[in-house]
């Protein structure tokens, strides 16, 4: 028994060493900074028709980087994830139309402001709502963590409305369009841009609570980067490049020719075939990332699950207790909480960055592995106890009895659960978009931010998932039949 436990521990130890060992080879002289952003926030940041990240923020950042002689690595993680990753030291800075507030100054150091905008209220055309006073008893949609959300919270008691929060702008807009919310609050530049590009909403208030927007780093850190940003911004304002970038993206500044082109592109985007044709590379990339996460995640989860499951059946109280505890903890934690803890919480404890893909794999390994351990343990325990007793009575040690007698019978019982867990893991990868992984779900969000066609894009994503799951189900059924035969 001791040899059996030692062998399992050695295998699992080597595996975990390989997972957590990350080479630290980037030289400081490269001057490459990791900058997180939210690419679902046009005109500040979004993906254009070629799926390249553009907008006021990124054009300014790239121009400043070129002016000051440093490089940037852009990570599209979403606003909330960007705030958390910078706070945890996972990124060097963030630029995502972030309003400079006194509360945020407690945790971040901001650059000189590069844009000023107010908050406007938008409603569905024909709703009849024209002022804040008409919101009493109604619901209002906002995007969590934004200046629009802060403004709505500051006046909700005065005007008597209820707030509904969403993680992306598309969710906010659709809630109003579908009639679930009476209005939404958004940055004026963002709202005007969305309406200009076909969003069926109408602004009914003047910009209020005007705030300034800035580039942010963790308080007390990356001061050299902050200094270069400020110096570069001043140079862009002096040479006229700043005005060109702002004019390129702000409402009412485009030429007639540009507007016609934009409307043509939007019309093409609104057909399913047009969306597929225009974004095929992005969809393919998202599918590949999803499959990579699924395959690596299920492999790691299987190793982890088998190890923990076998610990639960050895004749040792400590091992059984440890197995039960691990299964209880990681099955009980929501996947999204576990992902955020590993990606943003662990770096604060260990003082080292955790790559998003690695964090995603570890999340899947622990969560899916706990379920795998449960049915491995259950599969072994379902084999008649007399089988083990008979093997031991013939002089076989515990490990050999397990390998030769119990596991061959238990595996047949476990196979359907393994197949089901593989499909569940594929679907669970969608939750990992919360830490910025560009899998299929995050790809859909980025495309929607540009064309505002939530229904069609999510329908395409849903069909892709169904096709992949159908293929995997047929393949797994074939494998199951082969094993049973």
Q: How would residue 51 be classed by pLDDT, with cut points 50, 70 and 90?
A: confident
User: Does 253 have pLDDT greater than 80?
Assistant: no
Q: How would residue 216 be classed by pLDDT, with cut points 50, 70 and 90?
A: very high
Q: In this predicted structure, what is the pLDDT of residue 155?
A: 94
Q: How would residue 199 be classed by pLDDT, with cut points 50, 70 and 90?
A: confident
Read off the CATH number of the domain in which 101 is found. 3.40.190.10
Q: Distance between CA 296 and CA 359 in Å, rounded?
A: 12
Residues 219 and 87 placed together within one structural domain of the fold: yes
Higher pLDDT residue, 35 or 281? 35
User: Does 38 have pLDDT greater than 80?
Assistant: yes
In a domain, 261, yes or no: no
In a domain, 269, yes or no: no
pLDDT in tens, 107-155: 999 999 999 888 999 999 888 899 999 999 999 999 887 888 989 999 9
Residues 440 and 456 placed together within one structural domain of the fold: yes
In a domain, 265, yes or no: no
CA angle at 375 for the pair 373 and 380, rounded to the nearest 5°: 95
pLDDT in tens, 351-371: 778 888 999 999 999 999 999
Residues 187 and 334 placed together within one structural domain of the fold: no
Q: Distance between CA 29 and CA 153 in Å, rounded?
A: 45
Select from 187, 211, 235 the last residue of a domain.
211
Q: Locate all alpha helices (DSSP H) within 160-271, ordered by sequence.
A: 169-177, 188-196, 223-239, 241-249, 256-269
In a domain, 346, yes or no: yes
pLDDT in tens, 410-469: 666 666 677 778 888 888 888 888 887 888 988 888 888 777 777 888 899 999 999 988
Stated pTM of the model: 0.68
Q: Which residue range(s) make up the domain with 130?
A: 116-211
Residues 294 and 338 placed together within one structural domain of the fold: yes
Q: How would residue 217 be classed by pLDDT, with cut points 50, 70 and 90?
A: very high
Phi, psi of 204 (to 5 degrees): -120, 0
Number of structural domains, the chain?
3
In a domain, 413, yes or no: yes
Q: How would residue 7 be classed by pLDDT, with cut points 50, 70 and 90?
A: low
Q: Distance between CA 145 and CA 187 in Å, rounded?
A: 12
In a domain, 98, yes or no: yes
Residues 311 and 182 placed together within one structural domain of the fold: no
Residues 142 and 283 placed together within one structural domain of the fold: no
Residues 343 and 424 placed together within one structural domain of the fold: yes
How many CA atoms lie within 13 Å of 230's alpha carbon, on the beta-carbon side? Answer: 13
In a domain, 347, yes or no: yes
Read off the CATH number of the domain in which 479 is found. 1.10.3720.10
Q: In this predicted structure, what is the pLDDT of residue 29?
A: 41
Residues 287 and 361 placed together within one structural domain of the fold: yes
């Amino acid at each position: 028994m001791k040899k059996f436990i030692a062998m399992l521990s050695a295998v699992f130890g080597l595996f975990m060493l390989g997972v957590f060992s990350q080479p630290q080879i980037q030289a400081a002289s490269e001057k490459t900074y990791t900058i997180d952003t939210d690419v679902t926030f046009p005109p500040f940041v979004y993906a254009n028709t070629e799926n390249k990240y553009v907008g006021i923020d990124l054009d300014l950042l790239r121009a400043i980087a070129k002016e000051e002689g440093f490089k940037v690595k852009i990570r599209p993680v979403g606003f909330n994830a960007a705030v958390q990753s910078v706070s945890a030291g996972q990124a060097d800075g963030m630029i995502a139309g972030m309003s400079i507030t006194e509360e945020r100054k407690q945790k971040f150091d901001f650059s000189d402001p590069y844009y000023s905008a107010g908050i406007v209220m938008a409603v569905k055309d024909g709703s009849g709502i024209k002022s804040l006073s008409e919101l009493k008893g109604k619901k209002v949609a906002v995007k969590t963590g934004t200046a629009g959300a802060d403004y709505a919270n500051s006046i909700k008691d005065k005007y008597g409305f209820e707030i509904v929060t969403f993680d992306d702008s598309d969710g906010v807009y659709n809630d109003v369009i579908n009639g679930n919310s009476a209005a939404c609050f958004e940055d004026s530049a963002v709202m005007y841009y969305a309406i200009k590009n076909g969003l069926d909403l109408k602004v009914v208030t003047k910009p209020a609570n005007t705030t300034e927007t800035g580039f942010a780093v963790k308080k007390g850190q990356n001061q050299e980067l902050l200094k270069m940003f400020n110096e570069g911004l001043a140079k862009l304002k002096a040479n006229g490049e700043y005005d060109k970038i702002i004019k390129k993206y702000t409402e009412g500044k485009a030429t007639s020719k540009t507007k016609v082109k934009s409307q043509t592109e939007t019309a093409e985007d609104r057909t399913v075939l047009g969306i597929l044709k225009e974004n095929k590379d992005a969809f393919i990339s998202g599918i590949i990332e999803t499959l990579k996460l699924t395959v690596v995640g299920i492999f790691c989860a299987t190793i982890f699950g088998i190890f923990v499951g076998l610990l639960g059946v050895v004749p040792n109280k400590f091992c059984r207790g440890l197995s039960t505890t691990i299964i209880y903890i990681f099955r009980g934690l929501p996947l999204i909480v576990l992902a955020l803890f590993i990606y943003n919480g662990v770096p604060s404890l260990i003082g080292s960055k955790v790559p998003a893909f690695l964090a995603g794999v570890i999340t899947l390994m622990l969560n899916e592995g706990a379920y795998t351990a449960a049915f491995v343990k259950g599969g072994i325990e379902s084999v008649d106890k007399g089988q083990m007793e008979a093997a031991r009575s013939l002089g076989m040690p515990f490990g050999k009895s397990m390998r030769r007698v119990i596991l061959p019978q238990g595996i047949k019982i476990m196979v359907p659960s393994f197949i089901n867990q593989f499909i569940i893991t594929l679907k669970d990868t969608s939750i990992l978009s919360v830490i910025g992984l560009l899998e299929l779900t995050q790809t859909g969000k980025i495309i929607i931010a540009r064309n505002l066609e939530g229904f069609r894009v999510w329908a395409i994503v849903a069909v892709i998932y169904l096709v992949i799951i159908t293929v995997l189900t047929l393949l797994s059924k074939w494998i199951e039949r082969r094993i049973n035969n």
